[in-house]
Amino acid sequence: MPGTHDFAHEEKPEGPSPDPVSDVVRWAAFSCALVPVVLLMCGQSFGGAAGTAAGLVALTCVCHGLLRQSERTAAKVSAEQASPHRGRHGRTGGGSHRGARRQGPGSPAD
């Protein structure tokens, strides 16, 4: 029927995620919840499953911090490459290289 387009179920094109670190952390959090449940279902003690969950949470937090640090480092390096270093005082050249003419021996002096 015309005019009854369902925008809630419209397919969005798959593309790269705007924040891949958040995607990784989201999957890690899912694993932190899923692994203890599976361990309990397989007969592991509650204490063992809780210890495993605590270890996974700690590991996820450390990995999240390292991923963010590597993102900051990569952004810093790319920013430094975008604007080249111009020297000690920011000048393009020194002395006679800046366009000044020098009178040398054998050149006519007017």
C-alpha–C-alpha distance, residues 54 and 74, integer Å: 30
pLDDT in tens, 66-78: 999 998 998 888 8
Confidence (pLDDT) at 23: 87
- What is the mean pLDDT of the segment spanning 87-97? 59
pLDDT in tens, 12-59: 656 677 777 788 888 888 988 999 999 999 999 999 999 999 999 999
Confidence (pLDDT) at 25: 84
Q: Which residue has the higher pLDDT, 79 or 8?
A: 79
At how many degrees (to 10) do helices 20-41 and 46-82 cross? 170
Structure tokens at 17: 């995620």
Structure tokens at 67: 């991923």
